[in-house]
Amino acid sequence: MILLQYFEPETQNWQQIDFSTLPQQLSADARVWINLNDANADELQQVLQHFAITPTMAEDFSRQRHPPKLETQADYSLLILRGYADADFSEYASSAQVNLLYSHNVLISMIKCHNPHLLQQLTPQLIAGHRNTVADWVKQLTLNVAASYLEKLIAFEDELSELEDNMLHRGNDEQMALMMRYRSVLRKINRNLAYQKDIFADALYEENSPLLQQFGRPVVRDFYEKFERLHSMTDMYYDQLSDLVSGYMSTSSHQINDRMKVLTMISSIFIPLTFVAGIYGMNFEYMPELTWPAAYFSVLALMAGGGVAALFWFKHKGWW
């Protein structure tokens, strides 16, 4: 289904109209927003052909999943962004895919998001009697995409601090598994943020960048700084989690080494004693020591002395 909102310059009002009634030539003051969230493939192609979108740009816009990118051809620009739609970083279902195809007075949007609250934020707002500009819509949607990450990252900072305290005092394998999941999610969203940061970074250094012409350098710089800050935060949190994982592994290895040291000392004491007991447990008929009156107590004393001597040796070496 194609949802089309048309701003009539004469009445200064927004109205929802059928796509078939859209004027072929739009006036300079007209505004059109076409929502293709629930459109099928045929309706999507109908809209793209109506506005004479180039095949390569139409193909990228039509894809359900596409890395963030910016492309400009003729009168239209294609901006693909990804927002964060999950409640936290413990699980990663999928990103909110924001596909925007826009010109001076036309915005074609296709947004796939499983989070209803975020989907509402990523929907252009129509104000009665107000002539919304396409540039303002795109700007607001870009800021909302950045905000979808920032909100979760700020909340995650406190959770990470609590997790760090727990790992230092009473770390366990369950918390270790949670940290590994956090690292996996942060690595995925870090790639999305890197793509989006590079889009605006490249625009700042291009003399004839379409983004600079559409929004101006201060706005594009603001976009870049927001995504660069988010990218840096995910890098920092990922490094902190990596340090916690390494610290937990080092602590676990140290504990295992201590246990192995105890087992080694016990084995070093009892293996010689077992050897002696094994010798005198053999059923040979002629064993001279069997006829000695003090043989039993002498062997016990020898075995006890050997065990005590081994303990003193370990103590001298500082093993316990």
Residue 103: predicted pLDDT:
87
Indicate whether 17 pLDDT > 70. yes
Residue 22: predicted pLDDT:
81
Q: Which CATH number fits domain 3-251: 3.40.640.10, 3.30.460.20, 3.30.420.40, 3.40.50.1820?
A: 3.30.460.20
Binned at pLDDT 50, 70 and 90, residue 314 comes out as: confident
Residue 320: predicted pLDDT:
67
Residue 175: predicted pLDDT:
80
Token digits of residue 237: 């949190």
Residue 186: C-alpha distances to residues 58, 146, 226, 294 (Å): 31, 15, 17, 74
Which of 130-134, 167-171, 208-212 reaches the highest mean pLDDT? 208-212
Average pLDDT value over all residues in the chain: 84
Q: Can you give the residue ranges of every domain in the chain?
A: 3-251, 257-317
Q: Half-sphere exposure of 227 toward its Cβ, with a 13 Å CA cutoff?
A: 28
pLDDT in tens, 105-138: 889 999 998 888 888 888 887 766 566 688 888 9
**CATH classification (class only), 257-317:** mainly alpha
Same fold, 3-251 and 257-317: no
